[in-house]
Amino acid sequence: MKKRLFQLLFVTCALLCSAATAVAQSTVKGQVVDQETGEPLIGASVTIDGTSKGTITDIDGFFTQSVPTNGTIKFSYIGYVDLKQKITKKGSVDLGVIQLKQDAFALADVTITSSIAKDRQTPVALSTIDPVFIEEKLGTQEFPEILKATPGVYATKQGGGFGDSKINMRGFKSENIAVMINGVPMNDMEWGGVYWSNWAGLSDVTRSMQTQRGMGASKVAAPSVGGSINIITRTIDAQKGGSVSYAMGNDGYNKILFNVSTGLTKSGWAMTLLGGKTWGDGYIQGTEFEGYNYFLNIAKRINDDHQLSFTAFGAPQWHNQRNRNDGLTIAGWEEFGTRYMGENDKYKYNPTYGHGINGERKTSQRNVYHKPQLSLNHSWQIDRNSSLSTALYASIGNGYGYSGQGYGKNEEFNTNNRNLWYGTSNGILNNYFRKPDGTFAYDEVYDYNKASQNGSYMAMSKSINKHNWYGLLSTYNTKIKEVFDFFGGIDLRYYKGIHTNELVDLYGGEYFLDENRRNISPALNSNAANPMFATQKLGVGDVIYRDYDGNVVQGGGFAQIEYNTDKLSAFVSGSLSNTSYWRYDRFYYDKANAKSSTLNFLGGTVKAGLNYNINKYHNVFANVGFISRAPYFSGGAFLQSTTSNATNKDALNEKILSFELGYGFRSSFLAANLNMYHTEWKDKTMTKGVSITDDNRVEIDRATINMSGVNARHQGIELDFTAKPFQWLDITGMFSIGDWKWVSNPKGYFYNSQGQPLKTLDGGVVASGIQASDHAWSQLDLKDVKVGGSAQTTAALGATFKPTKELRLGIDYLFYGRNYADWNFKSGDIIANSETSFATPWRIPSAGIFDLNASYRFKIGNITSILSGNVTNLFDQEYITDATDAGGTWQQAYGVFYGFGRTFNVRLKLNF
């Protein structure tokens, strides 16, 4: 009896202890994010400290874990500092957002040189895009289009060829938007723009993508005007494992991709390798493409003070195009697009699509390029407060685009034979070589050349562009008295662009005569003194039209001091840089005159900003900046950078003054930003090409009007927000309205293709009525004319539904309004030695489109798999994205391009 009583008491005590233990458990939930960017950390480890019990965060960084009362929960993620938090409350505990700080040793090579802005600290307007967002939303769109729901951003496909997209920010074109990869500048050193087809694989290796609108706070010597895009690729933060995926979509779109990463090994090594191929027929008629992409990162943590990281990536590709010379008028699309493609596909029509004599595919619009980038980053943690990050980089580009050439004049069509290659002339379809089905009759070009007594009237050349680009970017950072951070560094760049044109196809002729040789001055090139030089019979592989090098050397230093407390943060920065330009021309000049004079432009920046956190919910910020920037090599420093060493004596530094005010709100379910900006742009260098024509308006030479005193004003208001009313629902939205217009009446002077002042344009429409003793000029009345090429009102609203952890459904609405055609003029619009007025360009009708995306996560054995899909322009909305005009009406608008109709893709990704 006593024995049974003892057993009963023992069981009772055990049950009571178990009950007590159960009561002492707490259910903890929260979301783990990157402290700097705010992006969710997928797969972060959440464990009970001192045990192996725990869980990992889901695709949005959320977790739920049972923890003993008074126990400690530990958060850890590769590349981040571990964080521990003691749980003292019983029951359900919501920790909210848990911010992990990046490991200074693990990622210093990225974070220091990349100029990452911090939410509620850096006083700039910024947006951060994480890999999950890219993976869900991009689909078959071009990489810049991932930013189309960002305030002030306008991204389009232009002609619609693979990688031919463009992006504008706050009304500024791509040459005024700084694009960086891991902090390394990518903009072309001669004209400032970016060809996105060269970076087609970046979306697959992006760890984070951040835009800073306006001047921003990037730490480089030559900053942007409209904004910056900084793309951070993966390094030793990549987890061990990999993935393979296959995607397919409309119009023969296919993409295969693999990546594998070792993670950070015990010996301090890490490697990530990626490769892929994309190919398809193209949405637009005759825009077939094939592209490859690769990425390799090898990192070594040498010790606690030093880390090396080597990165190599590139995207060799070829694609056939429909370029800006193939855009029709609205009436032209309705007539010819419908006639040749049918009502449903009329906007897919490509005027240069066609075939040769044996039915082989021929095109006058083709691009082939490969621009790999190599970089070696070294991070040195000098002491507890100081570090030095250095990036040594190189980019070796090589490729070409087709360029149609011609000799003589076509009497039947009353135009130069060179013009016969174009699909349109100022939006009017060219019917020179046109089949009944609307395709370009390349076979008839063979017949035309065979009938010639002077070799090929029409020939095709490769416009070859190579470049060698080397740079060094080094940043020193030290902390002073815990609240001050000092950054200082150097930004050195050397660039050499090699530009030539080589004949690639004579189209049935025996030889080709290059008319450009007639423009060569005997005083500058002794070859021109030989009368046979201008009539030299040229064949495939011979150089025509141009053969020169563009050289750019840029060097500068920058410094920035930051003050950071919980409440107040501020920065003051400055930079000074010198830009040197020179040309070396092997075509129009002999060796004695081949090198131009060297032009030097000293520029600099001064910027300051302040952010004040009123409380944990509200913050306000302001920034102001002034930039004095060198004009670009092309269209600025040289009058005719393609064909002449003549320098632009009127070129001045461009001057930009900008200021901005902003407000931010943060809570557990809502984050919102409101900002206002005002930018004054003075002394912008602007050149426009015109034609010198004979009495019959046939082009006899190419000319340039070089304008000075071109000023513009860009100002506007931007709002964006993210709301999480429920754990299963995310809502995003934005609205931006801009007022961008020209505010001056610039004066321009005319120069011919050799950069010589034009006193008369013999018989030309452009220069009718001028006196022989005058340098031809024109005053352009641009004041209050709207800046075109970008929607001045944009809005977006999106919702992501997560009914389960495995399923995500998203829908987005995008609105474009007050989109004015890109301002331009035709040769006949300009009257020399007088003032020419222009109306505000035609206002393109407003448009709104819906995009749909969905993904489902599931297991195949032990392999996590994701099936995802996208439908862009869900309701097949018809809308115009781009146009060119200076007349102010839709009838006068030309170069019109419509947005894509409904497109789709599906993808299966297996993670291991």
Residue 763 has pLDDT above 90, yes or no: no
Give the pLDDT score at 587: 96
Residue 355 has pLDDT above 90, yes or no: yes
CA–CA dist 238, 713 (Å, integer): 44
Give the pLDDT score at 696: 59
Instruction: Categorize the per-residue pLDDT at 37 as very low, low, confident or very high, splitting at 50, 70 and 90.
Output: low
Instruction: Categorize the per-residue pLDDT at 9 as very low, low, confident or very high, splitting at 50, 70 and 90.
Output: very low
For residue range 217-251, list pLDDT tens digits in order: 766 655 678 999 888 887 655 678 889 999 999 99
Instruction: Categorize the per-residue pLDDT at 490 as very low, low, confident or very high, splitting at 50, 70 and 90.
Output: very high
Return the structure tokens found at 42.
């997928």
For residue range 649-668, list pLDDT tens digits in order: 889 999 999 999 999 999 98
The side-by-side arrangement of strands in the sheet containing 880-885 is 822-823, 880-885, 894-898
8 A C-beta contact, residue 305 and residue 378? no
- Positive or negative, the CA dihedral 754, 539, 362, 452 is positive
The SS3 call for residue 113 is coil
CA–CA dist 270, 485 (Å, integer): 30
Pick from 558, 565, 556: nearest CA to 611: 565
pTM reported for the whole predicted model: 0.87
- Positive or negative, the CA dihedral 750, 753, 759, 762 is negative
Strand duo 543-564 + 777-781: pairing: unpaired
Arithmetic mean of pLDDT over the chain: 88
Give the pLDDT score at 839: 85
CA–CA dist 169, 331 (Å, integer): 30
CA–CA dist 101, 118 (Å, integer): 12
Give the pLDDT score at 203: 79
As a whole number, mean pLDDT of residues 39-43 equals 75
Instruction: Categorize the per-residue pLDDT at 57 as very low, low, confident or very high, splitting at 50, 70 and 90.
Output: confident
Residue 573 has pLDDT above 80, yes or no: yes
CA–CA dist 890, 882 (Å, integer): 12
Using CA atoms, how far residue 554 sits from 39, 112, 192, 392, 832, in Å, is 35, 21, 13, 15, 37
Alpha helical stretches, state H, 380-502: 442-450
Using CA atoms, how far residue 346 sits from 351, 801, 872, in Å, is 12, 36, 19
For residue range 837-887, list pLDDT tens digits in order: 888 899 999 999 999 999 999 999 889 899 999 999 999 999 999 999 878
Give the pLDDT score at 238: 63
Is 2.130.10.10 the CATH number for 25-102?
no
CA 467, 471, 474 angle in degrees (round to 5)?
165
As a whole number, mean pLDDT of residues 313-333 equals 93
For residue range 701-732, list pLDDT tens digits in order: 677 888 888 999 999 999 999 999 998 999 99
What's the length of the chain? 912
Q: How many percent of the chain have pLDDT more than 90?
A: 60
For residue range 771-783, list pLDDT tens digits in order: 445 688 888 889 9
Evaluate whether 25-102 and 241-323+365-407+454-911 have a shared fold: no
Q: CATH: 3.30.300.30, 1.10.287.130, 2.40.170.20, 3.40.190.10. Which one for 241-323+365-407+454-911?
A: 2.40.170.20
Partnered with residue 254 across adjacent β-strands are 248, 279
Partnered with residue 781 across adjacent β-strands are 837
Instruction: Categorize the per-residue pLDDT at 694 as very low, low, confident or very high, splitting at 50, 70 and 90.
Output: low
Residue 12 has pLDDT above 90, yes or no: no
413 Cβ neighbours under 8 A, 6+ residues apart: 420, 432
Domain ranges for the chain, please list them.
25-102, 241-323+365-407+454-911
CA–CA dist 658, 623 (Å, integer): 8
Partnered with residue 574 across adjacent β-strands are 559, 606
Return the structure tokens found at 688.
């426009």
Distance from the Cα of residue 734 to its chain's centroid: 20
Give the pLDDT score at 827: 61
CA–CA dist 605, 625 (Å, integer): 7
Which uninterrupted H or E stretch holds 575? strand 568-585
Q: How many percent of the chain have pLDDT more than 70?
A: 90
Helices (H) and strands (E) in the chain, counts: 6, 52
CA–CA dist 835, 586 (Å, integer): 39
User: Which of 88-102, 194-208, 269-283 has the highest average model confidence (pLDDT)?
Assistant: 269-283
Give the pLDDT score at 184: 84
Exposure string for 284-320, b = 16+ CB within 10 A, e = fewer? bbbbbbebbbbbbbbbbbeeeeebebebebbbbbbbb
Q: What is the DSSP letter of 3?
A: H
CA–CA dist 518, 536 (Å, integer): 11
As a whole number, mean pLDDT of residues 628-650 equals 91
The SS3 call for residue 16 is helix
The SS3 call for residue 8 is helix
Residue matched to tokens 């002030």? 152
Residue 699 has pLDDT above 80, yes or no: no
Give the pLDDT score at 7: 46
